[in-house]
Amino acid sequence: MTNRKIGRGVAMVGAGMSRFGSFPDLDTRDLFVDAFQDMRQSVDKGLDPKDIDILYIGNYSSDLFEGQGHTAPLMADWVGLTPIPATRIEDACASSGVALRQGIIAIASGMADVVLVGGIEKMSNLPTEEVTDTLATAGDVLYEIPAGFTFPGFYAAMATAYMHRYGATPESLMQVGLKNHDNGALNPKAQFGMRIADIMAKKKARAQQKGRAIPAWSDEMDFLHDDRANLVIAWPLRLFDCSPISDGAAAVLLAADDIAHRYTDHPIHIIGAGQASDVALHDRPDPTTIGSARRAGRMAYDMAGVTPSDIKVAEVHDCFTIAEIIATEDMGFFEPGRGYVAVEEGLTRRDGPRPINTSGGLKSKGHPVGASGAGQAVEIWHQMRGEAGSRQVAGDIDIALTHNVGGTGQTAVVHVYERRN
Partner 1 sequence: MSEHRFTHTLFQQHLDEQKLPGSRCRNCGELYLPPRPLCPNCHSGDMSAEMLGGQGRLIAFTAIHIAPTVMLEAGYSVKNPYFAGIVQLAEGPAISAQIIGVDATQPQNIKIGSQVQVAFIERSGSEHRALAFEVIR
- Residues of this chain that bind partner 1 (CB under 8 A): 128-130, 132-133, 136, 142-150, 152-153, 156-161, 164, 231-237, 279-283, 287
Can you say whether the dihedral through the CA atoms of 411, 300, 377, 36 is positive or negative?
Answer: negative
Strands 86-89 and 399-406, bridge-based pairing: unpaired
Quote the CA–CA distance of 340 and 325 in Å, as a whole number.
6
Give 285 or 395: the residue with its C-beta nearer to partner 1.
Answer: 285
Give 130 or 345: the residue with its C-beta nearer to partner 1.
Answer: 130
Give 196 or 234: the residue with its C-beta nearer to partner 1.
Answer: 234
Helical ranges in 79-216 per DSSP H: 95-108, 128-136, 151-166, 170-184, 196-209
DSSP 64: H
Give 155 or 334: the residue with its C-beta nearer to partner 1.
Answer: 155
Shortest Å, Cβ 8 to partner 1:
34
DSSP 245: P
Catalytic residue (choose from 181, 367, 382, 415): 367
Amino acid at 49: P
Give 111 or 141: the residue with its C-beta nearer to partner 1.
Answer: 141
Shortest Å, Cβ 162 to partner 1:
9
Q: Report yes or no: 245 and 124 within 8 Å, Cβ to Cβ.
A: yes
Active site residue 367: yes
Catalytic residue (choose from 93, 269, 403, 415): 93
Sheet holding 10-17, edge to edge: 86-89, 54-58, 114-122, 247-256, 10-17, 268-277, 411-418, 399-406, 313-315
Residue closest to 243 by CA, chosen among 321, 329, 136: 321
Shortest Å, Cβ 233 to partner 1:
5
Shortest Å, Cβ 327 to partner 1:
18
Active site residue 93: yes
| 167 torsion bin: left (phi>0), alpha (psi -120 to 50), beta (else) | left
Shortest Å, Cβ 321 to partner 1:
14
Catalytic residues, by residue number, are 93, 367
